């Protein structure tokens, strides 16, 4: 028995879980934890798992600060209460999907139980499906909301509960805050209706797959190029996740015939047995796919994360070596291809736009400007791109957009990032480039020469638990109160604080307001043209630093020679922030 003291408030919360309405197994396990593991009690009960503006995400386990059937049930009851208030006297429908995570069907079933117990019709996928297909299903089935059980690319111990509104996009104001209030008002599991109404639960599956794939096909711009380059050798891996069925199906529907699998990673598993982290941003997650590419002489490697809303790619450089592209580079290839084809087909008439987040490369804006297409810049999070799309319905057409964290969308049939269409359009871009005698890598170099050479990099610092969360907030407070004046020999001339929505010029002292909503983000701009963004992750115990440097026009004309110089600037800036 441990004698380490537990904070009285934390102990009271834990002790509540040793009584009804909690099931007997839960009660016994929490009693054991109270007796023998006070540190674990602290981590599991020191706070309530936050229902944020996107839903829930956290480590699975017992306690108020963990993902379990009770925290999921309370979140669902709160959302059900809000839906019933928002759509009175209507038949309310909600779609539910889940990825490969541990407890995926447990949490999906609890969610279906609670909604149906509240008289809401549930459309539950018959097996795991990509997050973007859930977004599509909401609009296709006329639902008022949707849920996907996923923790995206987080480590295996995590799961999550992502909430969508009737436009197929994630919650934005005022619904996000309103739902949070309703969830908080539930208070405890006693107020949750867990009794399933089977008559209100409907199974969906291949019927939605068919219309979803048809919507993807309508985004294709060069079917004739694919027809001539259909044997493009593509290695694809779902990294044990939901892309295992839909991505190969979509690529084949587009016309690609030489899709090479990675059998070890086609095993659907929330344990992610072949990787430490199922994150396509990390080179280790693509190791097996890269080995397969070398063994087969493939032209292109693509890997999707567990819920198939993000994709990482690798291409052959000018020496024939496979190299990974970062999210900004892939976004630049896609936006250039989309805009060049829209322009060639005479479809740009001043009523189109692209969208990107504030931490995504400004190269996208430069490419769009050259094609006379405006760029909408939004806060980090694809829900803000979805919001812009909704606000422009019937007025302007969304061509495409993306964010540096490997998430992209082409067209507006879905209102979240979509790795399925991204895989198809990356492959189509490769086919079109080959038609013009270029590899994807050579096309990227050509884009740099035409529009400017940008180099970006990300530094993430992890701080786990209660203490880590406090450290992250202290770091942000310090940067905010005492911003750096010099960074790696570069003079800081502007500080943009999205929390108080100000843009401060450090040279003349002027301050101007910014139009975007308040967010806990800081940006530092240097006289030499570098941009550094600092923000806490909304889904992981991390603080993130985004670094961006731009070459002069003269240096951009020789990107291969200039890249090492730019990367050295990035390294120096990272060191200035303690890397």
Secondary structure percentages of the chain, helix, strand, coil, to 5? 40, 20, 35
Reported as a pLDDT band with limits 50, 70 and 90, residue 539 is low
Q: Could you tell me which of 85, 80, 157 has the C-alpha nearest to residue 122?
A: 80
Side-by-side strand order, sheet with 397-403: 375-378, 352-357, 397-403, 407-410
Cα dihedral 366, 367, 370, 371, rounded to 10, equals: -140
Q: Specify whether the CB–CB gap between 79 and 179 falls below 8 A.
A: yes
Phi, psi (5° rounding) for residue 516?
Answer: -75, 155
Q: How far apart are CA 373 and CA 394, in angstroms?
A: 17
Least confident of 12-26, 46-60, 175-189, 252-266: 46-60
**Which of 398, 422, 420 lies closest to 408, judged by CA?**
422
428 half-sphere exposure, CB direction, 13 A CA radius: 28
Cα 151 to its chain centre, rounded Å, is: 10
pLDDT-based confidence at residue 3 (cuts at 50, 70, 90): low
| % pLDDT > 90, the chain | 89
- Cis before 174 (ω within 30): yes
Q: Residues 464-523: pLDDT tens digits?
A: 777 888 888 888 999 999 999 999 999 999 999 999 999 999 999 999 999 999 999 999
Where are the extended beta strands (E) located within 392-453?
Answer: 397-403, 407-410
Structure confidence at residue 439 (pLDDT): 97
Structural domains of the chain, ranges and CATH numbers in brackets: 1-46 (no CATH), 47-204 (3.40.120.10), 212-449 (3.40.120.10), 454-576 (3.30.310)
Exposure class string for 89-125: b at 16+ Cβ within 10 A, else e:
eeebbbbbbbbbbbbbebbbbbbbbbbbbbebbbbbb
- Is residue 96 within 8 Å of 108, Cβ to Cβ? yes
Residue 461 pLDDT class (50, 70, 90 cuts): confident
pTM of this structure: 0.93
* Mean pLDDT along residues 104-119: 98
Which range is least confidently modeled, 324-338, 406-420, 469-483?
A: 469-483
Q: What is the pLDDT of residues 419-445, one digit of tens each?
A: 999 999 999 999 999 999 999 999 999
Residue 444 has which token pair? 């990227």
579: pLDDT confidence band, cut at 50, 70 and 90?
low
Place 463 in a pLDDT band, splitting at 50, 70 and 90.
Answer: confident
The mean pLDDT of the chain is 95
- Provide the pLDDT for residue 541: 78
HSE-CB at 522 with a 13 A cutoff on CA atoms is: 20
Catalytic residues: 152
Q: Which residues neighbour 127 within 8 Å (Cβ) at sequence distance 6 or greater?
A: 205
Q: What is the 3-state secondary structure (H, E, C) of 78-116?
A: HHHHHHHHHCCCCCCEEEEEECCCCCHHHHHHHHHHHHH
Local structure of residue 415 (DSSP, 8 states): S
Which tokens sit at 308?
A: 């198939």
Partners of 532 in beta bridges: 524, 547
Per-residue exposure over 397-416, b if at least 16 CB sit within 10 Å of its own CB, e if not: bbbbbbbbbbbbbbbbbbbb
1 has pLDDT over 50 = no
Whole-angstrom Cα distance, residue 273 to residue 241?
12
- Number of Cβ within 10 Å of residue 85's Cβ equals 10
pLDDT at 465: 77
Residue 505 backbone dihedrals phi, psi, to 5 degrees: -90, 115
Distance CA 412, CA 209 (A): 17
φ, ψ of residue 526 to 5 degrees: the values are: -105, 160
Between CA 485 and CA 241 the distance in angstroms is: 45
DSSP string for residues in 177-203: HHHHHHHHHH-SGGG------GGGEEE
Among 5-19, 289-303, 412-426, whose mean pLDDT is lowest? Answer: 5-19
């Amino acid at each position: 028995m441990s004698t380490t003291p537990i904070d009285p408030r934390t102990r009271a919360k834990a002790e509540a879980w040793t009584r009804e309405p909690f099931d007997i197994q839960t009660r016994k396990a929490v009693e054991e934890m109270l007796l023998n593991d006070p540190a674990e009690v602290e981590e599991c009960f020191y706070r309530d798992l936050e229902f944020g503006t996107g839903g829930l995400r956290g480590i699975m386990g017992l306690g108020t600060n963990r993902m379990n059937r009770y925290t999921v049930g309370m979140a669902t009851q709160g959302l059900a209460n809000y839906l019933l208030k928002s759509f009175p006297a209507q038949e309310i429908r909600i779609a539910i999907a889940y990825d490969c995570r541990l407890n995926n069907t447990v949490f999906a079933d609890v969610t279906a139980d609670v909604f149906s117990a509240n008289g809401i019709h549930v459309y539950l996928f018959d097996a795991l499906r990509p997050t973007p297909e859930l977004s599509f299903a909401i609009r296709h089935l006329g639902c008022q909301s949707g849920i996907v059980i996923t923790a995206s690319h987080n480590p295996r111990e995590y799961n999550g509960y992502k909430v969508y509104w009737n436009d197929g996009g994630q919650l934005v104001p005022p619904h996000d805050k309103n739902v949070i209030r309703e969830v908080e008002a539930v208070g405890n599991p006693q107020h949750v209706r867990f009794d399933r109404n089977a008559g209100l639960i409907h199974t969906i599956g291949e019927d939605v797959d068919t219309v979803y794939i048809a919507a993807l096909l309508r985004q294709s711009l060069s079917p004739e190029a694919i027809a001539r380059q259909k044997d493009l050798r593509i290695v694809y891996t779902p990294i044990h996740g939901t892309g295992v069925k839909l991505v190969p199906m979509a690529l084949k529907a587009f016309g690609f015939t030489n899709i090479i699998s990675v059998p070890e990673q086609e095993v659907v598993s929330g344990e992610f047995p072949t990787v430490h982290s199922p994150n396509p941003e990390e080179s280790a997650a693509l190791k097996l796919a890269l080995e397969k590419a070398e063994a087969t002489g493939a032209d292109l490697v693509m890997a999707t994360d567990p819920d198939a809303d993000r994709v990482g790619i690798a291409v052959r450089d000018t020496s024939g070596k496979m190299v990974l592209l970062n999210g900004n580079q892939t976004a630049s290839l896609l936006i250039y291809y989309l805009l060049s084809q829209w322009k060639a087909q005479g479809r740009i008439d001043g009523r189109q736009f692209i969208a990107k987040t504030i931490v995504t490369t400004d190269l996208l804006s430069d490419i769009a400007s050259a094609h006379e297409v405006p760029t909408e810049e939004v806060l980090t999070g694809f829900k803000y791109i979805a919001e812009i799309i909704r606000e422009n319905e019937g007025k302007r057409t969304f061509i495409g957009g993306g964010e540096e964290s490997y998430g992209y969308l082409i067209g507006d049939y879905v209102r979240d990032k979509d790795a399925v269409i991204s895989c198809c359009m990356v492959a189509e871009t490769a086919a079109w480039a080959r038609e013009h005698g270029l590899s994807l890598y050579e096309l990227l170099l050509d884009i740099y020469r035409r529009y400017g050479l940008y180099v970006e990099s990300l530094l993430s610092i992890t701080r786990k638990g209660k203490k880590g969360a406090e450290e992250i907030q202290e770091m942000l407070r310090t940067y905010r109160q005492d911003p750096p004046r010099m960074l790696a020999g570069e003079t800081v001339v502007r500080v943009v604080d999205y929390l108080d929505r100000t843009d401060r010029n450090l040279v003349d002292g002027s301050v101007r307001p910014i139009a975007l909503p308040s967010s806990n983000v800081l940006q530092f701009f240097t006289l030499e043209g570098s941009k550094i963004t600092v923000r806490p992750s909304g889904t992981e115990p991390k603080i993130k630093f985004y670094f961006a440097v731009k070459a002069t026009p003269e240096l951009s004309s020789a990107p291969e020679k200039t890249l090492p110089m730019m990367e050295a600037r990035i390294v120096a800036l990272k060191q200035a922030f303690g890397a």
